[in-house]
Structure 1
Amino acid sequence: MSIPANALSDEECLHYAPIEPAAAAELTRRLTAQSIDPRAEQDELQESMRRIESEAEELADELSDLQDSVEDACMWIKRAMDPEDQSMTINQFMQKALDCLE
């Protein structure tokens, strides 16, 4: 390790402890001295997990909305290609499809 283990942040100590003996020793020292609060670390991780799960739900909702828009655009394009559907001009059908995608 290029820097002394005691110069590592708590997060870095937790990260490097499994692979670097000096970091593991420093982590043990900090835990013994109670300078690291494992409960606080757990609370921070749980909060991060909640935030990530919330972001994932928002992204899933966005994806669902995009899929719906693409399906609607495809429907308008199919109608434009249908020679029997004369309810609008091809340009009007294509504009409807573009509106779905914007």
Structure 2
Amino acid sequence: MYWVKHFSFIFLISIVGYLLILDAGMSSDHAGYMTWYQKIELGLGCLLWWPASLFVGLKTLLGYYASMLGIELWLFQIVGNSLLISYMVHRKHNKQINRD
């Protein structure tokens, strides 16, 4: 049950972040420029999609084509957030053991 809760939380974060990025991109494509709230949407979406954003940034620095709609980004997003949450839970568990 532990992993189901965490995976559903990660999946919810991923969907919300993806929709924020998609909405900001589609709105700016239609208007031709980004307004302040679209920049905030894009920033929040990239914050929620931090593993995928790091991957895209690294691809861009290395000179490869970076697409935000690739299926590999979902893999990086889910695995990155899973590792972060498992690290945080492991650290909290170790602090409780050391206190006892």
TM bucket normalised to smaller: 0.3 to 0.5
**What TM-score do the two structures reach when normalised by structure 2?**
0.36
Between structures 1 and 2, the one with greater helix share: 2
